[in-house]
């Protein structure tokens, strides 16, 4: 139960998995659904009273949320969950949490025998130039404390194109055999890896080491052109080259000018190709 004594309706308490994550301090308590509209919305409904680390897990999402109001297509066989977190400092720990989650997903996939994923700023993981995982963060203000809801979606099995053929060229699945055991293992691996990073998000030395891992995961040694659209309709093309300590990404535009895109800035990527390929 949550601190308020009320379990979210319809969920099954997974005490067996809670036992496996006890040492982590995360993914406890844990409720699971076969199918939901959005784990993020259920987590939001309990976040005022839920203990730190409370997690909502679903076998599929019918209306999984992405950034900027987009839909994260979530077919059965993937790992889809949202976690309620206490965040001591919104200006640092909150936005750094997404980077730590991306590293934890990347490590989890490798521990399952999968490929090495590339971090695609600010919140995606890609494999062979197609998205296979996404991170979402909602900051909720309220009493007695503000909370952060961390949403994670990983297409472990089939890709989303089976539900939405328009995604065939931009999103994919990792092809793991669909089984409850593999999804459980994936969640446990994530909890372990995320817990190892969490204590270091609030201090600069720890964050410096994490940032170095994020930069390596972004694979800037393999440059790729991106087109970025701002809310005013302006678009510029460039090559991402680094991630700054404040979470901003540095993009070198076609004129060779290094431009800074702040973390959280309302910018949409509209194209992604290898650096040597020019659009007509």
Task: Please tell me which residue, 265 or 117, carries the higher pLDDT value.
Answer: 117
Q: Which of 23-27, 224-228, 231-235 has the highest mean pLDDT?
A: 23-27
Residue pair 55/83 in contact (Cβ under 8 Å)? The answer is: yes
What are the contacts of 194-198 at 24+ separation with CB within 8 A?
A: 194/24, 194/26, 194/100, 194/101, 194/104, 195/23, 195/24, 195/25, 195/26, 197/100, 197/103, 197/104, 198/26, 198/100
Residue 203 has pLDDT above 80, yes or no: yes
> 147 vs 9, 83, 90, 129, 179, CA distance in Å?
21, 10, 9, 33, 32
How many beta carbons lie within 10 A of that of residue 108, not counting itself? 26
What domains lie within the chain, and their CATH numbers? Answer: 12-218 (3.30.930.10), 224-274 (2.30.30.100)
Question: What does pLDDT average to over the chain?
Answer: 85
Rounded Cα distance between 89 and 77, Å, is 35
Residue 163 has pLDDT above 90, yes or no: no
Structure tokens belonging to residue 109? 């996939």
Supply the pLDDT for residue 262.
Answer: 84
Residue pair 100/198 in contact (Cβ under 8 Å)? The answer is: yes
Residue 66 has pLDDT above 70, yes or no: no
Q: For 169-193, how does the pLDDT look when each residue is reduced to its tens digit (9 = 90+)?
A: 878 889 898 788 899 999 999 999 9
- In this structure, of 220-234, 244-258, 262-276, the range with the lowest mean pLDDT score is 262-276
């Amino acid at each position: 139960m949550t601190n308020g004594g009320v379990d979210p309706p319809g969920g099954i308490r997974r005490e067996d998995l809670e036992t496996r994550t006890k040492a982590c301090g995360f993914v406890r308590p844990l409720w699971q659904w076969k199918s939901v509209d959005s784990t993020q919305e259920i987590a939001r409904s309990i976040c005022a009273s839920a203990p730190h680390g409370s997690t909502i897990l679903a076998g599929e999402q019918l209306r999984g949320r992405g950034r900027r109001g987009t839909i994260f297509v979530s077919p059965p066989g993937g790992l889809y969950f949202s976690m309620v977190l206490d965040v001591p400092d919104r200006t640092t720990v909150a936005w750094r949490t997404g980077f730590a989650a991306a590293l934890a997903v990347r490590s989890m996939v490798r521990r399952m025998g999968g490929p090495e994923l590339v971090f695609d700023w600010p919140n995606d993981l890609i494999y062979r130039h197609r998205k296979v995982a996404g991170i979402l963060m909602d900051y909720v203000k309220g009493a007695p404390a503000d909370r952060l809801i961390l949403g994670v979606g990983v297409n472990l099995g089939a890709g989303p194109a089976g539900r939405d053929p328009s995604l065939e060229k931009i999103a994919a699945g990792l092809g793991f055999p669909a089984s409850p055991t593999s999804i459980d293992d994936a969640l446990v691996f994530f909890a372990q890896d995320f817990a190892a990073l969490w204590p270091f998000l609030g201090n600069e030395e720890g964050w410096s080491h994490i940032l170095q891992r994020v930069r390596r995961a972004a694979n800037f040694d393999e440059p790729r052109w991106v087109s970025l659209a701002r809310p005013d309709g302006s678009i510029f093309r460039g090559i991402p080259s680094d991630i700054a300590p404040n979470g901003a990404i540095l993009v070198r535009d076609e004129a060779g000018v290094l431009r800074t895109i702040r973390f959280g800035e309302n910018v949409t990527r509209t194209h992604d190709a290898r650096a040597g390929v020019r659009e007509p």
